[in-house]
Amino acid sequence: MKGKGIHVLIEALGQMPEEARAEFTVDIAGKAWTPEDQDYLALLQARTAELKLQSMVRFIGFIDLSTSMADYDVLVFTSLLQEACPMAVLEAMSQGLLVLSARAGGVIEMIRDSEDGLLFEPEDSRALAALLASIPARDVSKFKRLAQDRARLDFNQQTQLRRLRLAVIPSDA
């Protein structure tokens, strides 16, 4: 769970001006499966209280992304891991959410920064705070539309199978 970088989001929220934070409610999803995960979750909850963010941050546990994304406007993906194709990001894009993501793993191939999503350096809570604070001034509908189009056109089953065939079958075969 620590590899998901949720502490980066908590720190970013704490660094935002109070008037900018008032624009957001934040649901943190995920289940703490192991004792280490449970310790990390306890640290996150304590830090949330220390920064006086309890009124805006909820720890909601496991959710089914495919059915619950429609309830949200933005996905913040703070993973520090080198995930090849994070399903949470793909689901969010396909459902037209604005995605703010750490520049790690396959995300850098999925999201075109400042075009169909916004990227920040992993562990950079200040950069994430600045991106979050900038959301109200941005044309979010443009990001959402472009992200949804990209997911539909570039990450559909036919496109992925064609790319797989090209990667596996020599062109002269």
Would you state the pLDDT for residue 144?
A: 87
pLDDT of residue 158: 77
Please enumerate in sequence order all residues whose Cβ is within 8 A of that of 122, keeping only pairs 6 or more positions apart, or say none.
5, 8, 78, 79, 80, 102, 103, 104
The pLDDT of 134-138, averaged and rounded, is 90
Nearest residue to 78 (alpha-carbon basis) of 12, 127, 5 = 5
Q: Where are the beta strands (DSSP E) in 12-105?
A: 26-29, 57-61, 74-77, 98-102
Structural domains present in the chain: 2-168 (3.40.50.2000)
Residue 108 one-letter amino acid: I
pLDDT at 157: 73
d(CA 46, CA 52) in angstroms, rounded, equals: 10
Q: How confident is the model at residue 166 (pLDDT cuts 50, 70, 90)?
A: low
pLDDT at 173 over 60: no
**What's the Cα-to-Cα distance from 53 to each of 5, 14, 93, 96, rounded to whole Å?**
17, 7, 27, 27
Tokens of residue 75, six digits: 């996905």
54-109 per-position pLDDT tens digit? 999 999 998 887 778 888 999 999 999 999 989 999 999 999 999 999 999 999 99
Q: pLDDT tens digits for 8-47? A: 999 999 999 999 999 899 999 988 889 999 999 999 999 9
Total number of residues shown for the chain: 173
* Backbone phi and psi for residue 59, each to the nearest 5 degrees, phi listed first: -100, 110
Q: How many CA atoms lie within 13 A of 62 on its CB side?
A: 4
Please report which confidence band the pLDDT of residue 169 belongs to, taking 50, 70 and 90 as the band edges. low
Q: Please, which pLDDT band fits residue 120 given cuts at 50, 70 and 90?
A: very high
